[in-house]
């Protein structure tokens, strides 16, 4: 069947190969990489390549020695090489590739093989696996035009093809192009004129430098990086709930604006947490790999989805830095590239030894605000006694107030002291669990870390010494900790509330005999999902589906107390078991067990444990500070002060909490996460343990170890030993500016990829990038200063016929801008664009029906103020229902790493620009702004035109616009059209409505959404 | 409708077969002053009808996707043994190694909640929850032996729709649009409709993956414009829209003359097609063209949101009539972790009549032969009961990927036929085990496509809908 894509690919291939000089003539030497490897990769490696599981006849052709040993190739001898015999055979049983694969070789390919073997069958490493070296500049026909290295390489290739470069673009075109490329926004007419009228011969260079220094540069280039990082503001999958990782997005913008060297940019994102004395910013950078999705669906196996996240991270690392489809080796060894199944999991192991917490981002602004408010609260609390109600009676009111305060306080103190129990922390002698690591902290509490499951069981052993006897009750204190999700006390991180826990059962044994527990009580109980109760007695009922939980009080302490039916009266070993069993992983993160000796049943108290401890102490032995703590506590609960405390409570609500960002933290040396090879890539089929390393073929030599952990991997990625990263990065920059990379498949530099159009230029750019300290700004600068870039993009039938995709760059780039730039262009043209940078995602207007298709009751509440007009990079990105006006222009959803966007041209795009209320609103603003700036019809029309397209309109264009405007105005005046509806403003005139209509039409021009 | 793919768009004006008829094109070209020089060139747009691998009986698909996973034990797979064993756990030998979403595998068995009877000439046994389907049972093929790899909604729904449990692969509709082209005029080749509750798989279920983005499904919206922005903005009448488009076209044309980029001509064409879609959409959505008998057959009522599924089934037929290749009708609401009896009853009430009506309506119109109807959820439900105090659940069933039921009608499927068998507990398949990828291969087969040959090269690999392992169309199901 002749599928379109296949036939197209063929057409393109043929078209392209005409441009590439190949060794089709008998006299020119055969180049292995150029001539032979592509045939091998396309036709032979699937069965005779690196994948041992699919290898036929034990023959591999990707290694020369093996091919020779097997007799397939006998260098210099056609007659003895079975490869030649098989490819030439007429016998369908013998012929290779086998006829049923439909992969037959052309006559030309067969000849190539013969000539190659005749000349000794030399192999060469795939070009991309050999370190780039700065090439000599080629000779060109016009060294004046080609003054810069980039232009030398481009012109040399044009010379070969017999093509001429195009003249330089006019200044309006150039200023618009370079604005769109460097800052992702068109210039205002004033900005454009400033350049056009600048007589300085250095005007263009100065403009470029100014744009490179603009903060909007980072906003434009961060978008490309976020495509690779699969950034989104939601978790993905079914529930697709919001996540907080925008500080990472802001980090990217800032890093790019600061021109952070790309090597550092890499190291911080892959392993910022592992740098010595890692800063908050370096930790935020590790959000790069936290951008993978999180399945929050009830009932999943959380470790299965963690595995899929690792699969994503492995593949993404391969695509972003190595330009390799490492992901192909998840299920079996790579068919074409020398990446084995074990290489894949070893590479994964380098990335797989991190925990995934949320980091509280302690910005100075929030810290300062917190401190101010807390100081205020403290001050107000100190004055509370002055608001204590006085006793009734005569005399000085302050005295009576004081009297009442003292009386009530000692009353409370006496009662509380009587009730206070002597709890003693039990320090565990042994801590075991099914998976998480449990450790005892200094205060005797226990912290859980590492991975958790839907059914966690903690077993804690305590040695009960005679001083603690008789032991009559146990108290489980659940405690907050900043290291836990939402500060704990639980470790729930999906499906349930963050920081929640669910204790199903609590059991105890003493010296191996079951201890009967009863009379359970808690200070607070609520479960987060479902209608069940959270009674303390649930933990003793033998039913795993009931339990205790403190939902909605994340970040706070609570307690559960159980009494022993029979007190323990002898020393021995107490074992307690805590079972956490729910449809999501919800074990405790930090908790403490205490025991008490009491002559009555004890119950859980609201009183904080620290205060109860003080109350239980001999009052004579209290330090003044401790007395102060008790007294302060009394102020916070005294019923007489309830009203007086209200303003304080209000103030407390205003204390801002720190935003969080998702980060990576390397696991401690005593609790590494093992990585296994997974048979067929399946989560449920782990096989042998692997150790972290890079694929063998990329290792410098067998003796050097190469990277063994995440930080070393990051450093290796940007080291000179790695042949790929600099090329991949330079190629993507080229792609962003010219629409296509020098290597067309910007995410695949493997043996299957098409060779670069300008191999030497690519190596030149890669080497310059490294030589320039990995400065991306310098790279962008060099590209946009080239004559190649500055050519006009006009094209002719002849050019279209010779090089329809403009791979040889005989003209400048011209293509539709990315989705976000479409909107940002309209925002800027309309004068509505907000310059506000950073912060949580915002909600520009879109129809409610877009998110109605998403799971749950997700509501898209369009912003009303400045946030409505922020740059598109700040739009809240929801994976399962992405912003429709971006999707329609091929913006990715953030579900997978995207190295290259599609660039379609569809009627749905037309409908969006024509009819979307968001764009109509901007058309209204655009017309209004233009009318404010200009008075004559010609001037208004020109103003609208130039805000969108930069250049002045031609006479014919102006005439057409004015004719349209006049025609609409006539209809408005006649009452056929309603000005109020068109402008969205009751008091508007027909005239302004006609300009809105004109503005809307011009926003829909091809040129308005095109960089030309 | 004709979206234009990057590589071919420059050739748009050479193609007259797709998207707009010759007359329309001629007039469009005349209007825009472009020559009709190469109208018969053989290079095709991405939607040009493609030749199939072999003659397929089906030309289009309507997939009634029952999201949430209906209980096969309440609808199609009658297991009296479960009633006998009710309250007792499943034998350990059966449940060994199974993972479940909410329950422990040793949960007790729950008996069938509905009565079953044999229907039609074929004598297919289905429950009394589906009285309408029972009437058309001789038109459908029931497959009781399907199994899947995923036991959570989102990945399982993605698996059915894209062949993979993680978002990012092309959806089945996108594959078909890519592989077969479109016969729809001024409509997308792949349309998505939805009723009921929430979908779990998200927009990735109709995404293009790595195929050209023009092939992605277009969701029709339940509120506002059926196709986003298909209505003119407030205050713009048809003439204002036309005159605006004329200005846009004229200015684009001037720009084309000056810079020569064929992309501009593609944009001109896209705008003209957008305009045609705008006039086409109201006609499509206008159910007043239907007879009362037809409306009653489906139970459709466009003004009643409660009839959304019935309305969507009728709309699916209208889309099919207009050449839309793949209509995905999602109905969400089958996730009955508690009170499976009540849940199934209520969902069956919302869907049974319209499903049967769609089969009958297409048959009467002679469209059933070349339209494949598919009915099924993302997995099945456990023979074991789900009950949880914390969640407040009782007498429900959990997710069960090991065995469940689907049915098919028309498009080359055997009518009045049943295939596949599960064990006495309905736990595992014992005869004719069919994997999701086998069903996908079968669907492609009905359309004349060899699933092993519908491939797309992406990052160095030839991807296909049905994955890398070996799978086959279920030949037994084919007429």
ipTM for the predicted complex comes to 0.90
**For residue B253, what pLDDT is reported?**
96
Alpha-carbon distance of B397 to A884, in angstroms, equals 37
Q: Which residues of A touch B225 (CB under 8 A)?
A: 847, 849
Of all helices (H) and strands (E), which one includes residue A505?
strand A505-510
Alpha-carbon distance of A891 to A885, in angstroms, equals 9
> Nearest by CB to A546, which of B104, B236, B390?
B390
Interface of B with A in 263-322 (CB under 8 A): 263-264, 266-268, 270-271, 273-274, 277-278
Instruction: List C-alpha distances in Å: A619 to A265, A540, B165.
Output: 59, 36, 64
Token representation of residue A202: 């250095």
- Distance from the Cα of B321 to chain A's closest Cα (Å) equals 21
* B41 Cβ under 8 Å from any chain A Cβ: no
Q: B259, B333, B387: which to substitute to probe chain A, counting the most A Cβ within 10 Å? A: B259
Asked if A829 and A948 touch (Cβ cutoff 8 Å), the reply is yes
Give CA angle at B216 (B212, B222), nearest 5°.
160
Alpha-carbon distance of B188 to B49, in angstroms, equals 14
Q: Which residues of A touch B101 (CB under 8 A)?
A: 298-300, 583
Minimal CA–CA distance to A581: which of B97, B87, B104, B401? B104
Alpha-carbon distance of B141 to B418, in angstroms, equals 6
What would you report as the CA-atom Rg of chain B, rounded to the nearest whole angstrom?
Answer: 24
**For residue A27, what pLDDT is reported?**
55
Token representation of residue A728: 């991949």
> Nearest by CB to B390, which of A325, A547, A745?
A547
Q: Which residues of A touch B102 (CB under 8 A)?
A: 298-299, 583
Q: Do A297 and B222 touch (CB under 8 A)?
A: no
Q: What is the pLDDT of residues A80-94, one digit of tens each?
A: 888 888 888 888 888
- Distance from the Cα of A916 to chain B's closest Cα (Å) equals 6
Of all helices (H) and strands (E), which one includes residue A478?
strand A471-478
- Burial of residue A450 (CB within 10 Å: 0-12, 13-18, 19+) is middle
* B83 Cβ under 8 Å from any chain A Cβ: no
Asked if B69 and B404 touch (Cβ cutoff 8 Å), the reply is yes
Alpha-carbon distance of B78 to B74, in angstroms, equals 7
Alpha-carbon distance of B105 to B249, in angstroms, equals 65
- Distance from the Cα of B247 to chain A's closest Cα (Å) equals 7
- What pTM was estimated for this model as a whole? 0.91
Quote the DSSP letter at residue B405.
E
Asked if A88 and A98 touch (Cβ cutoff 8 Å), the reply is no
Alpha-carbon distance of A617 to A621, in angstroms, equals 7
Q: Which residues of B touch A531 (CB under 8 A)?
A: 391-392
Q: Do A1012 and B194 touch (CB under 8 A)?
A: no
Per DSSP, helices labelled H in A506-661 are 609-616, 624-637, 642-654
Alpha-carbon distance of B272 to A165, in angstroms, equals 35
- pLDDT mean across residues, chain A: 93
* A527 Cβ under 8 Å from any chain B Cβ: yes
Token representation of residue A419: 């009730």
At A430 the three-state DSSP class reads strand
* A163 Cβ under 8 Å from any chain B Cβ: no
From edge to edge, which strands make up the β-sheet containing A572-581? A428-433, A455-464, A572-581, A505-510, A513-515
Rounded-to-10 torsion of CA A355, A360, A361, A366: 180
Token representation of residue B346: 């209520």
Pairing of strands B60-67, B326-332: parallel
* B44 Cβ under 8 Å from any chain A Cβ: yes
Q: Which residues of A touch B247 (CB under 8 A)?
A: 960-961, 964, 998, 1001
Alpha-carbon distance of A894 to A885, in angstroms, equals 15
Q: Do B3 and A299 touch (CB under 8 A)?
A: no
Minimal CA–CA distance to B258: which of A194, A949, A823? A949
Helices and strands, counts by H and E, chain B? 14, 17
Instruction: List C-alpha distances in Å: A979 to A941, A975, A988, B236.
Output: 18, 9, 6, 10
* B23 Cβ under 8 Å from any chain A Cβ: no
Residue A860 binned pLDDT confidence (cut-offs 50, 70, 90):
very high
Quote the DSSP letter at residue A321.
I
Q: Which residues of B touch A311 (CB under 8 A)?
A: 166
A698 cis-preceded (ω within 30 degrees of 0):
no
* B231 Cβ under 8 Å from any chain A Cβ: yes
B229 cis-preceded (ω within 30 degrees of 0):
no
- Count CB atoms within 10 A of the CB of residue B304: 11
User: How far out from the chain centre does Cα B157 lie?
Assistant: 11
Q: A683, A792, A910: which to substitute to probe chain B, counting the most B Cβ within 10 Å? A: A910
Q: Which residues of B touch A527 (CB under 8 A)?
A: 390
Q: Which residues of B touch A329 (CB under 8 A)?
A: none
- Burial of residue A666 (CB within 10 Å: 0-12, 13-18, 19+) is middle
Instruction: List C-alpha distances in Å: A289 to A234, A351, A664, A852.
Output: 14, 9, 8, 29
A470 cis-preceded (ω within 30 degrees of 0):
yes
* B35 Cβ under 8 Å from any chain A Cβ: no
Q: Is the domain covering A421-606 a CATH 2.60.120 domain?
A: yes
Q: Could you please report the per-residue DSSP string of A908-928?
A: HHHHHHHH-HHHHHHHHHHHH
Task: Give the least confident one: A442-446, A568-572, B87-91, B419-423.
Answer: B87-91
**For residue B29, what pLDDT is reported?**
34
Say how many CB pairs under 8 Å bridge A and B: 323
**Cα first-last separation, chain B:** 32
* A798 Cβ under 8 Å from any chain B Cβ: no
Interface of B with A in 108-137 (CB under 8 A): none
> Nearest by CB to A1, which of B151, B392, B453?
B453
Q: What is the pLDDT of residues A199-236, one digit of tens each?
A: 999 999 999 999 999 999 999 999 999 999 999 999 99
> Nearest by CB to B204, which of A8, A546, A893?
A893
- Burial of residue B230 (CB within 10 Å: 0-12, 13-18, 19+) is buried
Interface of A with B in 870-929 (CB under 8 A): 879-882, 884, 887-888, 890, 893, 895-896, 902-912, 914-917, 920
* B227 Cβ under 8 Å from any chain A Cβ: yes
* A934 Cβ under 8 Å from any chain B Cβ: no
Q: Could you please report the per-residue DSSP string of A97-116?
A: S-GGGT-PPPHHHHHHHHHH
Instruction: List C-alpha distances in Å: A808 to A145, A152, A287, A756.
Output: 16, 13, 38, 11
> Nearest by CB to B460, which of A748, A964, A982?
A748
Per-residue pLDDT of chain B (479 residues; tens, 9 = 90+): 333 333 333 333 333 233 333 333 333 333 333 322 222 233 357 788 888 999 999 999 999 999 999 999 999 999 999 999 999 998 888 888 888 888 887 889 999 999 999 999 999 999 999 999 999 999 999 999 999 999 999 999 999 999 999 998 999 999 999 999 888 878 889 999 999 998 999 889 999 999 988 899 999 987 788 899 999 999 999 999 999 999 999 999 999 999 999 999 999 999 999 999 998 898 999 999 999 999 999 999 988 888 999 999 999 999 999 999 999 999 999 999 999 999 999 999 999 999 999 999 999 999 999 999 999 999 999 999 999 888 889 999 999 999 999 999 999 999 999 999 999 999 999 999 999 999 999 999 999 999 999 999 887 778 999 998 899 999 999 99
Q: Which residue of A has its CA nearest to B3?
A: A906
Minimal CA–CA distance to B317: which of B405, B409, B227, B407? B409
- Distance from the Cα of A344 to chain B's closest Cα (Å) equals 16
Q: What is the pLDDT of residues A105-143, one digit of tens each?
A: 888 888 888 899 988 999 988 899 999 999 999 999 999
Q: What is the pLDDT of residues A263-280, one digit of tens each?
A: 999 999 999 999 999 999
**For residue A101, what pLDDT is reported?**
74
Q: Which residue has the tokens 């969701």?
A: B219
Q: Which residues contact A31 (CB under 8 A, 6 or more apart)?
A: A23, A124
Q: A313, A339, A878, A906: which to substitute to probe chain B, counting the most B Cβ within 10 Å? A: A906
Asked if A607 and A524 touch (Cβ cutoff 8 Å), the reply is no
Sign, Cα dihedral of A608, A613, A618, A619: negative
Q: Which residues contact A893 (CB under 8 A, 6 or more apart)?
A: A232, A877, A879, A880, A882, A887, B167, B203, B204, B207
Alpha-carbon distance of A980 to A969, in angstroms, equals 13
What would you report as the CA-atom Rg of chain A, rounded to the nearest whole angstrom?
Answer: 35
Q: Which residues contact A108 (CB under 8 A, 6 or more apart)?
A: A24
Token representation of residue A896: 């997978």
Interface of A with B in 734-753 (CB under 8 A): 745, 747-748, 750, 752-753
Token representation of residue A962: 């004015």
Alpha-carbon distance of A484 to A493, in angstroms, equals 9
**For residue B3, what pLDDT is reported?**
33
Token representation of residue B35: 């020559």
């Amino acid at each position: 069947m002749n599928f379109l894509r296949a036939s197209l690919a063929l057409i393109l291939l043929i078209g392209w190969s005409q441009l590439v000089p190949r060794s089709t003539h008998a006299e020119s030497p055969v180049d292995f990489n150029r001539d032979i490897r592509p045939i091998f990769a396309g036709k032979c490696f699937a069965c005779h390549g690196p994948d041992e599981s699919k290898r036929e006849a034990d023959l591999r052709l990707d290694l020369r020695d093996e091919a020779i040993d097997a007799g397939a190739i006998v260098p210099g001898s056609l007659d003895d090489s079975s490869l030649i015999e098989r490819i030439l055979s007429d016998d369908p049983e013998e012929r290779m590739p086998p006829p049923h694969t439909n992969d037959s070789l052309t006559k030309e390919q067969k000849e190539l093989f013969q000539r190659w073997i005749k000349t000794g069958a030399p192999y060469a490493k795939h070009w991309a696996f050999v370190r780039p070296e700065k090439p000599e500049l080629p000779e060109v026909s016009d060294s004046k035009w080609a003054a810069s290295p980039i232009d030398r390489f481009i012109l040399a290739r044009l010379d070969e093809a017999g093509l001429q470069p195009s003249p330089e673009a006019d200044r309006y075109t150039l200023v618009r192009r370079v604005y769109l490329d460097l800052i992702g926004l068109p210039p205002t007419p004033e900005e454009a004129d400033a350049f056009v009228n600048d007589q300085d011969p250095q005007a263009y260079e100065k403009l470029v430098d100014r744009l490179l220094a603009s903060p909007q540069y980072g906003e434009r280039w961060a978008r490309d990086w976020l495509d690779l990082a699969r950034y989104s503001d939601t978790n993905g999958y079914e529930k697709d709930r919001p996540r907080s990782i925008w500080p990472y997005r802001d980090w990217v913008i800032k890093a790019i604006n600061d021109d952070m060297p790309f090597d550092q940019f890499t190291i911080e994102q892959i392993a910022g947490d592992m740098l010595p004395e890692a800063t908050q910013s370096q930790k935020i950078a590790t959000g790069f790999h936290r951008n993978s999705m999180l399945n929050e669906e009830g009932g999943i196996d959380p470790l299965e989805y963690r595995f899929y996240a690792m699969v994503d991270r492995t593949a993404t690392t391969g695509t972003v830095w190595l330009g390799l489809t490492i992901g192909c080796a998840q299920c079996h060894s790579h068919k074409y590239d020398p990446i084995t199944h074990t290489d894949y999991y070893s590479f994964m192991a380098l990335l797989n030894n991190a925990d995934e917490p949320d980091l509280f981002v302690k910005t100075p602004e929030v810290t300062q605000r917190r401190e101010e408010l807390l100081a205020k609260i403290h001050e107000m609390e100190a004055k509370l006694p002055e608001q204590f109600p006085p006793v009734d009676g005569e005399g000085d009111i302050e005295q009576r107030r004081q009297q009442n305060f003292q009386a009530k306080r000692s009353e409370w103190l006496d009662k509380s002291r009587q009730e206070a129990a002597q709890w003693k922390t039990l320090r565990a002698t042994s801590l075991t669990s099914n998976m998480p690591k449990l450790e005892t902290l200094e205060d005797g509490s226990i912290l859980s870390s590492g991975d958790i499951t839907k059914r966690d069981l903690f077993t804690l052993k305590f040695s009960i010494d005679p001083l603690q006897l008789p032991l009559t009750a146990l108290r489980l204190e659940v405690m907050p900790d900043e290291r836990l999700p939402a500060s704990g006390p639980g470790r729930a991180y999906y499906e349930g509330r963050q920081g929640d826990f669910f204790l199903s059962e609590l059991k105890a044994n003493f010296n191996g005999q079951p201890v009967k527990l009863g009379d359970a009580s808690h200070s607070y109980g609520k479960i987060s999902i479902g209608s069940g109760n959270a009674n303390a007695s649930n933990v003793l009922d033998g039913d795993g589906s009931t339990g205790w939980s403190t939902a909605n009080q994340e970040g706070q302490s609570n307690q559960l107390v159980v009494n022993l039916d029979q007190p323990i009266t002898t020393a021995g070993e107490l074992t307690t078991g805590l079972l956490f069993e729910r449809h999501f992983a919800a074990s405790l993160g930090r908790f403490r067990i205490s025991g008490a000796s009491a002559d009555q049943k004890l119950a859980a108290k609201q009183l904080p444990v620290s205060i109860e401890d003080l109350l239980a102490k001999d009052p004579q032995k209290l330090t003044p500070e401790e007395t102060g703590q008790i007294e302060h506590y009394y102020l916070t609960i005294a019923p007489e002060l309830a009203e007086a405390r209200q303003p304080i409570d209000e103030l407390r609500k205003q204390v801002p909490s720190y935003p969080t960002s998702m980060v990576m933290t390397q696991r401690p040396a005593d609790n590494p996460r093992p990585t296994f090879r997974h048979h067929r890539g399946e989560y449920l089929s782990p096989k042998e343990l692997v150790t972290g390393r890079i694929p063998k073929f990329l290792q410098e030599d067998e003796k050097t170890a190469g990277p063994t952990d995440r930080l070393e991997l990051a450093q290796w990625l940007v080291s000179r030993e790695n042949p790929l990263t600099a090329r991949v990065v330079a190629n993507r920059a080229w792609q962003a500016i010219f629409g296509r990379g020098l290597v067309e498949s910007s995410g695949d530099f493997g043996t299957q990829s098409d060779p670069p159009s300008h191999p030497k230029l690519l190596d030149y750019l890669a080497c310059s990038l490294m030589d320039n300290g990995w400065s991306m700004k310098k790279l962008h600068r060099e590209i946009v200063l080239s004559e190649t870039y500055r050519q006009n993009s006009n094209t002719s039938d002849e050019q279209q016929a010779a090089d329809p995709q403009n791979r040889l760059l005989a003209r400048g780039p011209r293509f539709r801008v990315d989705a976000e730039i479409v909107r940002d262009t309209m925002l800027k043209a309309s004068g509505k664009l907000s310059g506000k940078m950073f912060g949580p995602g915002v909600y520009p207007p879109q129809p409610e029906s877009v998110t109605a298709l998403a799971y749950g009751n997700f509501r898209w509440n369009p912003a009303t103020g400045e946030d409505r007009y922020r740059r598109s990079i700040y739009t809240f990105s929801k994976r399962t229902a992405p912003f429709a006006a971006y999707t329609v222009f091929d913006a990715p959803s953030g579900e997978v790493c995207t190295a290259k966007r599609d660039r379609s041209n569809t009627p749905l795009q037309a409908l969006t620009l024509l009819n979307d209320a968001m764009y109509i609103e901007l058309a209204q603003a655009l017309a209004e702004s233009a009318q404010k700036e200009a008075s004559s019809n010609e001037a208004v029309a020109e103003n609208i035109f130039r805000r969108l397209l930069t250049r002045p309109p031609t006479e014919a264009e102006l005439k057409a616009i004015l004719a349209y405007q006049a025609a609409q105005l006539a209809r408005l005046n006649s009452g056929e059209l309603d000005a109020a509806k068109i402008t969205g403003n009751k008091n508007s005139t027909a005239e302004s409505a006609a300009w809105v209509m004109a503005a809307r039409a011009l926003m829909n021009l091809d040129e308005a959404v095109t960089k030309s | 409708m004709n979206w234009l793919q990057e590589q071919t768009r420059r050739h748009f004006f050479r193609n007259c077969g797709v998207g707009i008829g010759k007359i329309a094109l001629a007039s469009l070209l005349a209007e825009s002053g472009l020559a009709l020089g190469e109208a018969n060139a053989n290079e095709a747009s991405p939607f040009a009808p493609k030749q199939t691998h072999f003659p397929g009986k089906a030309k289009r698909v309507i997939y009634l996707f029952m999201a949430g996973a209906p209980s096969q034990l309440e609808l199609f797979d009658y297991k009296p043994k479960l009633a006998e064993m009710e309250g007792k756990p499943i034998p350990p030998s059966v449940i060994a190694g199974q993972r479940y979403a909410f329950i422990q595998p040793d949960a007790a068995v729950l008996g069938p909640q509905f009565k079953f009877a044999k229907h039609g000439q074929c004598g297919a046994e289905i429950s009394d929850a589906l009285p309408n389907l029972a009437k058309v049972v001789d038109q459908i093929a029931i497959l009781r032996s399907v199994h899947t790899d995923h036991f959570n909604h989102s990945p399982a729904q993605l698996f059915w729709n894209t062949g993979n449990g993680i978002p990012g692969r092309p959806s089945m509709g996108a594959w078909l649009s890519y592989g077969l082209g479109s016969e729809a005029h001024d409509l997308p080749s792949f349309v998505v409709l939805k009723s009921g509750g929430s979908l779990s798989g998200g927009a990735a279920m109709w995404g293009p993956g790595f195929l050209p983005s023009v092939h992605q499904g277009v969701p029709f919206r339940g509120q506002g414009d059926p196709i986003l922005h298909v209505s003119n903005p407030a205050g713009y009448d048809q003439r204002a829209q036309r005159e605006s488009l004329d200005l846009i076209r004229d200015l684009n044309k001037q720009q084309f003359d000056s810079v020569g980029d064929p992309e501009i001509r593609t944009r001109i064409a896209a705008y003209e097609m957008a305009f045609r879609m705008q006039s086409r959409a109201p006609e499509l959505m206008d159910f007043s063209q239907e007879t009362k008998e037809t409306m009653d057959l489906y139970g459709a009522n466009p003004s009643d949101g409660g009839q959304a599924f019935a309305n969507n089934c009728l709309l699916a037929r209208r889309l099919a009539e207009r050449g839309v290749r793949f209509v995905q009708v999602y109905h969400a609401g089958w996730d009955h972790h508690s009170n499976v009896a009540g849940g199934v009853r209520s969902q069956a009430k919302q869907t049974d009549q319209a499903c049967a009506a769609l089969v009958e309506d297409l048959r009467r119109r002679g469209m059933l032969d070349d339209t494949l109807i598919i009915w099924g959820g993302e997995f099945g439900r456990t023979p074991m009961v789900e009950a949880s105090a914390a969640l407040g659940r009782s007498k429900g069933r959990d997710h069960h990927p090991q065995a469940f039921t689907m049915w098919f009608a028309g498009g080359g499927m055997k009518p009045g036929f049943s295939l596949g068998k599960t064990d006495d507990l309905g736990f595992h398949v014992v005869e004719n085990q069919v994997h999701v990828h086998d069903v996908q291969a079968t669907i492609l087969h009905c359309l004349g496509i060899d699933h092993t040959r519908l491939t797309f090269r992406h990052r160095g690999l030839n991807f296909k809908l049905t994955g890398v392992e070996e799978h086959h169309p279920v030949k037994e199901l084919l007429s």
